[in-house]
Amino acid sequence: MNEFNYVMAFITKADLPSNDFSDGQEWLMVKHKIRGWELPGGKINDNENYEQAIIREVFEESGMIAYARENPKIYDDGLVFWMGISSEHEVNLRHKKDPMISDMNWFSTPPKNLAWGPEELQTIIDLFK
């Protein structure tokens, strides 16, 4: 049994965006078929540590290989990782393995149909400032 219920990735191309989204920094979001746009992430398998779980979840949902930029931060009953990607920044749905993900894209402002409000993104950004 894991101490945390989920892991989540805040993946950026470069620096963290400002929490008012005015600086043009981009982050990756995936579109869940039911919930809408959200950060990649999910459950932790019994046989993996937290970093292995988030790397697997990002790969399953985006086809990208990610790495942790910093130690994760506690967020509610989960962990959020600030991450970069090891491969090109190109979004390619052909490589994703999660059938519930219908789209993915880089954003510099919160998209419409956000699974939760922009306040949650702002809180996550503030965790790493």
DSSP secondary structure code for residue 12 in this structure: B
Domain contains 56: yes
Domain contains 93: yes
Domain contains 72: yes
The pTM score is: 0.91
The sign one gets for the Cα dihedral 116, 118, 123, 129 is positive
> What is the secondary structure of 56-98 as a DSSP string?
HHHHHHHS--EEESS--EEETTEEEEEEEESS-S---GGG---
Most confident of 33-42, 56-65, 81-90, 110-119: 33-42
Domain contains 1: no
Predicted confidence band at 94 (pLDDT cuts at 50, 70, 90)? low
Per the structure, the complete domain to which residue 99 belongs is given by 6-16+25-127
Nearest to 29 by CA among 100, 108, 94: 108
Domain contains 117: yes
Q: Which residue has the tokens 């979001």?
A: 29
pLDDT tens, residue by residue, 18-68: 989 999 999 999 999 999 999 999 999 999 999 999 999 999 998 888 999
State the total domains in the chain: 1
Nearest to 39 by CA among 15, 66, 18: 66
Domain contains 12: yes
Domain contains 80: yes
Supply the CATH number for residue 94's domain. Answer: 3.90.79.10
Nearest to 71 by CA among 113, 33, 3, 127: 127
